[in-house]
């Protein structure tokens, strides 16, 4: 039986780097590359593979994360889920009980509401990327504390840089304030474009809030209409 590599992510990275070096060498020798119709497809596949690799490296860096006190009470670390090439990324607050058990964000009742929203927008969950400010569940679903956010936020930042979405939708007050570095109330921010570095951000209500306050759902629908209009107007062809 062949021996499994000790660090498959590292070996894959070395393989990609070696291939890149070989291609650069061939170009210096005068190789003109693959036919024009094929080259863009190969470039897209290469970008996709690199993004997947980057996310795997970030996850490997986290390991069995013990950077804050939440590690002692969690069942599973909830890293993120979805398309590494997503143009649209959602950022929530923290895992709940269902997410803690399954290791996947937004799989409980709030997740079902988010899935329904995506369906009404003509999107599938597999087409977007979903993450949280925190990767571990706070006890009793309490609000994340400042030191917990500080420990997790750098990894979310790395995820965002790896994915490079066109738009981030922040779900709820905590994710919005943490990502944007503001104390402004969500009621003032939602429905208005914000910026995270050079990426557009649309703050809106958290699905769990909409479950408790269904009369507010039309506001999130209006926010998402802005998002879809922007993505449609900046479609990649």
Reply yes or no on whether the pLDDT at 2 is more than 50. Answer: no
pLDDT confidence tier of residue 92, bands split at 50, 70 and 90: very high
- pLDDT, tens digit, 9 for 90 and up, residues 120-151: 999 999 999 999 999 999 999 999 999 999 99
Which has more confidence, 139 or 26?
139
- pLDDT, tens digit, 9 for 90 and up, residues 171-212: 999 999 999 999 999 999 999 999 999 999 999 999 999 999
Reply yes or no on whether the pLDDT at 19 is more than 90. Answer: no
pLDDT at 53: 81
> Which range has the worst mean pLDDT, 24-33, 79-88, 181-190, 210-219?
24-33
| Token pair for 186 | 């969500």
pLDDT at 138: 98
pLDDT at 237: 45
CATH fold, domain 66-233, is Uracil-DNA Glycosylase, subunit E (3.40.470)
Distances (CA, A) of 165 to 59, 94, 136, 176, 203: 18, 20, 23, 16, 15
- pLDDT, tens digit, 9 for 90 and up, residues 31-73: 666 555 545 555 555 566 677 889 999 999 999 999 999 999 9
Distances (CA, A) of 86 to 91, 126, 153, 161, 218: 13, 9, 20, 12, 25
Report the percent of the chain where pLDDT is more than 90. Answer: 76
Hey, is 169 helix, strand or coil?
A: strand
């Amino acid at each position: 039986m062949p021996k499994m590599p000790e660090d498959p992510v590292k070996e894959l990275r070395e393989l990609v780097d070696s291939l890149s070096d070989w291609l650069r060498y061939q170009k210096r020798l005068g190789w003109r590359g693959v036919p024009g119709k094929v080259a863009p497809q190969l470039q897209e596949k290469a970008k996709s593979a690199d993004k997947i690799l980057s996310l795997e490296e970030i996850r490997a860096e986290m390991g069995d994360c013990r950077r804050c006190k939440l590690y002692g009470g969690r069942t599973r670390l909830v890293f993120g889920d979805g398309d590494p090439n997503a143009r649209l990324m959602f950022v929530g607050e923290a895992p709940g009980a269902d997410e803690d058990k399954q290791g996947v964000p937004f799989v409980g009742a709030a997740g079902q509401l988010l899935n329904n929203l995506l369906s009404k927008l003509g999107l599938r969950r597999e087409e977007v990327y979903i993450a949280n400010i925190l990767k571990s569940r706070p006890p009793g679903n309490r609000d994340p504390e400042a030191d917990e956010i500080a420990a997790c936020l750098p990894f979310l930042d790395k995820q965002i840089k790896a994915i490079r979405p066109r738009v981030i939708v922040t779900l709820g007050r905590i994710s919005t304030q943490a990502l944007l570095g503001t104390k402004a109330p969500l009621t003032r921010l939602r429905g208005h474009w914000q910026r995270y570095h050079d990426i557009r951000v649309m703050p809106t209500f958290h699905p769990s809030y909409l479950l408790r306050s269904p009369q507010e759902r039309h506001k999130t629908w209006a926010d998402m209409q802005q998002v879809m209009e922007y993505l449609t107007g900046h479609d990649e062809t």
